[in-house]
Amino acid sequence: MLRPFLVVNAICVSVPVVAEVPKVVTDIAPVHSLVAQVMAGLDVPELIVRPGVSPHTYAMRPSEARALQQADLVVWIGGDLTPWLSKPLETLASGGRQVALLDQEVTQTHPYREFNHEDEHEEVGHEAHDDHDHEGRDPHAWLDPQNARAWLGLLADELAELDPENAALYHENAAAAQLRLDEVSSAVAALVSPMQQVPFVALHDAFQYFEHRYGLTLVGTVSLGDASSPSPARLAELRADIEALGVACAFAEPQFDTALLEAAVEGSEARILVLDPLGAHLDPGPELYNDVLKAMAAGFGACTGS
């Protein structure tokens, strides 16, 4: 006996193809934080330079090199800050889009400053300056919140172009991040206002953008470059300036030894405090950028007791 065949009609359901969110790689934690805010609710960007390590002389790990190879978009400050990253971007990330923030029209930049100390090139060999030359643009541009505000909008535009399906969310996230940043910047301005008439010195010239935005006055540095060692004559000159100007505070950074700064303020009433422009002790993520600004403000506030 023949059994009847059971005929099953296959029903083809059309399933829309959802575009993948772009893979984004960033250089330093403050830039990573800004990108993370714009990408909130969709994905998390990759971070190359680990917190607590100087970005000027960083050595990439294999996992970070792979992240560059897979990136649809790389967002970095530029070769002025991380010259070692230029070649990997050329060889590993050539297939993706790259945004060097210092090169964007929306970015306000400042040149490096001179503080009338003796010629730094007499103190160290040229090799010490190859990785972080202190001529041309100062790359610490993320410390001006107006730059960060402009970059949030720029990042939203870049991501929306790569991922049109989520364009509205990128722009909503950027607008919300800008509002939060405006509130933080106003609070920072109030906290550092007592510092506006107080001269200070630093290990090296890393805080210029913050100073310009909030009206602060750096009067000297121990050295121009992160790798340079000042001569005894330079230290003596800076020590005289500290005494003559009544400098209240000298600022170091977490990743650098304070011995040279201690030598510069020896015999004066200046206190050594620490400013952290990279968020070395903060957890990477959306909150880090605003937390960096607040920590900077707290550091300057500690100088005046405000």
Instruction: Please identify which residue in the block is written with the tokens 């994905």.
Output: 43
In the chain the domains, ranked by start, together with CATH numbers, are 24-127+134-187 (3.40.50.1980), 194-304 (3.40.50.1980)
The answer to whether the CB of 254 falls within 8 A of the CB of 1 is no
On whether the CB atoms of residues 134 and 151 are closer than 8 A, the answer is: no
Rounded Cα distance between 205 and 125, Å, is: 19
Q: Phi-psi region for residue 279, left (φ > 0), alpha (ψ -120 to 50) or beta? A: left
Looking at this protein, which amino acid is placed at residue 53? Answer: V
What is the per-residue pLDDT for 45? Answer: 98
At 116 the pLDDT is 62
- The pLDDT value given to residue 125: 33
Q: What is the pLDDT along the chain (306 residues), one digit of tens a residue?
A: 444 444 444 444 444 444 689 999 999 999 999 999 999 999 999 999 988 888 988 889 999 999 999 999 999 999 999 999 999 999 998 889 999 999 999 999 999 887 764 443 333 333 333 334 456 899 999 999 999 999 999 999 999 999 999 999 999 999 999 999 999 999 999 999 999 989 999 998 999 999 999 999 999 998 765 546 677 887 888 889 999 999 999 999 988 888 889 989 988 989 999 999 999 999 999 999 999 999 999 999 999 986
CA angle, corner 86, sides to 81 and 89, nearest 5? 125
Reported as a single tens digit per residue, the pLDDT across 69-92 is 999 999 999 999 999 999 999 999
> pTM of this prediction?
0.86
Say how many residues make up the chain. Answer: 306
Report the Cα 268 to chain-centroid distance in Å: 32
Convert the pLDDT of each residue in 93-144 to its tens digit: 888 999 999 999 999 999 988 776 444 333 333 333 333 445 689 999 999 9
